[in-house]
């Protein structure tokens, strides 16, 4: 292990199972994420933001090797998972934000694969309440898929251990595995190798939700690698992690996908410039976009709500106040 990783507790479900801390076995009453409702369970699916996102290079399988710090935030989708009244999996999407229905939704695939792995057949009804916008870099679909794995495993008492859930999650998508743990982690590989950062990072931020949906696939496909930049960011961030200064990592705005994203979606670059001209800076792009956030410094006091109003009023971009998630 290198010095940065020494500071971070190695976290994989294999390790967790060894030490007997298996999320799948967490007592429901003590887990804020899951609550029993009638014969079903309600599972919260938090969004994430990237506090840093470094691209180490392109891999032979077409994916990109990443080093990213991800933090769960207090913006949630909700899944109500109940015994079904129809054959198979029934998925209903509700709420203000769009999500594909039926088999197009990753929640559906997650349930199918979970049941296959457990060797079970079951009729399940899932009502997905969407609040997290898609194409925003907030892992909208990935967090729902992880919540479905956790919830269905629990409801049907499938007894899949953390290692199996982790493997399933990693197959479903690069960000899914992060949501089995958290709230803060250093992720490598495609994003599916998770090193949990033990001490949570407390923050309040203003989150801009532009009406633009970015294609992750398109952003990665257009990305031009900058190895010098990667080396520079990596050395700075490793040093800050060694000093346990995540707060300083965020002020670097190290998102190596930003220029590609802005090249494809010019309106986002203009939006960032406008918001920063109001003095609300630095503004940081989450993932492959389109959401951007500004973490409040202590010196900025309690004006985060005012910032959100100012941005909505003067620039007309939807804006909410967020904090780090506790779990």
Q: Which residues bind ligand C5P (CB under 6 A)?
A: 63-64, 66, 173-175, 190-191, 216-217, 220
Q: Which is nearer to ligand C5P, 70 or 156 (CB)?
A: 70
Q: Which residue of the set 130, 154, 164, 175 is catalytic?
A: 175
Nearer to ligand C5P, 140 or 196 (CB): 140
CB of 113 to ligand C5P, least distance (A): 14
**The two three-digit tokens of residue 290, written as one number:** 């389109």
Annotated catalytic residue within 48, 130, 154, 272: 48
Q: Using CA atoms, how far apart are residues 126 and 291, in angstroms rounded to an integer? A: 27
Active site residue 103: no
Report d(CA 159, CA 175) in Å as an integer.
23
Query: What's the closest the beta carbon of residue 66 comes to ligand C5P, in angstroms?
Result: 5
Q: Between 109 and 174, name the residue whose CB sits nearer to ligand C5P.
A: 174
d(CA 171, CA 225): 25
Closest CA to 90 of 55, 49, 40, 34: 40
Closer to ligand C5P by CB, 121 or 217: give it. Answer: 217
Q: In angstroms, what is the minimal distance from the CB of 55 to ligand C5P?
A: 8
Query: In whole angstroms, how close is the CB of 146 to ligand C5P at the nearest point?
Result: 12
Report the C-alpha gap between 242 and 116 in whole angstroms.
Answer: 42
Q: Residue 106 CB, nearest distance to ligand C5P (Å)?
A: 9
- Quick one: 63 or 232, whose CB is closer to ligand C5P? 63
Cβ proximity of 237 and 254 under 8 Å: yes
Instruction: Round to whole Å and give the CA distance between 224 and 159.
Output: 43
Angle at 259 between CA 254 and CA 261, to 5 degrees: 105
Residue nearest ligand C5P, Cβ-based: 174
CB contact set of 167 (below 8 Å; sequence gap of 6+):
none
Question: Is 175 among the residues known to form the active site?
Answer: yes
- Alpha helices (H) along 156-251: 162-172, 216-222, 227-242, 246-251
Task: Report, as residue numbers or ranges, the catalytic residues.
Answer: 48, 175
């Amino acid at each position: 292990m290198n010095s940065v990783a020494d500071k971070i507790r190695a976290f994989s479900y294999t390790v967790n199972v060894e030490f007997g801390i298996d999320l799948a076995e967490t007592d429901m009453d003590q887990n804020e994420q899951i609550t029993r409702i009638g014969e079903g369970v309600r599972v919260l699916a938090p969004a994430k933001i990237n506090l840093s996102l470094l691209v180490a290079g392109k891999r032979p399988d077409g994916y990109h090797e990443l080093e990213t710090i991800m933090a769960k935030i207090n913006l949630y989708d909700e899944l109500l998972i109940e015994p079904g009244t129809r054959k198979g999996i029934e998925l209903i999407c509700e709420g203000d934000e769009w999500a594909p229905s039926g088999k197009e939704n990753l929640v559906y695939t997650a349930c199918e694969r979970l049941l296959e792995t457990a060797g079970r057949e079951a009729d399940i009804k899932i009502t997905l309440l969407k609040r997290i916008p898609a194409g925003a870099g907030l892992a909208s679909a990935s967090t729902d898929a992880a919540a479905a794995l956790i919830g269905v495993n629990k409801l049907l008492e499938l007894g899949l251990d953390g290692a199996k859930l982790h493997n399933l999650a990693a197959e479903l998508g690069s960000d899914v595995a992060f949501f089995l743990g958290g709230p803060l982690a250093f992720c490598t590989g495609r994003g599916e190798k998770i090193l949990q950062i033990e001490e949570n990072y407390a923050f309040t931020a203003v989150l801009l939700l532009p009406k633009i949906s970015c294609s992750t696939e398109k952003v990665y496909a257009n990305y031009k690698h900058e190895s010098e930049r990667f080396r520079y960011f990596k050395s700075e961030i490793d040093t800050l992690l060694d000093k346990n200064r995540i707060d300083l990592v965020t002020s670097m705005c190290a998102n190596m996908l930003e220029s590609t994203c802005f090249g494809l979606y010019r309106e986002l670059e203009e939006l960032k410039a406008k918001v920063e001209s109001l003095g609300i800076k630095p503004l940081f792009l989450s993932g492959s976009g389109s959401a951007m956030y500004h973490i409040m410094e202590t010196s900025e006091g309690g004006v985060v709500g005012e910032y959100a109003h100012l941005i909505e009023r003067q620039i007309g971009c939807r804006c909410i106040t967020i904090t780090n998630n506790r779990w």
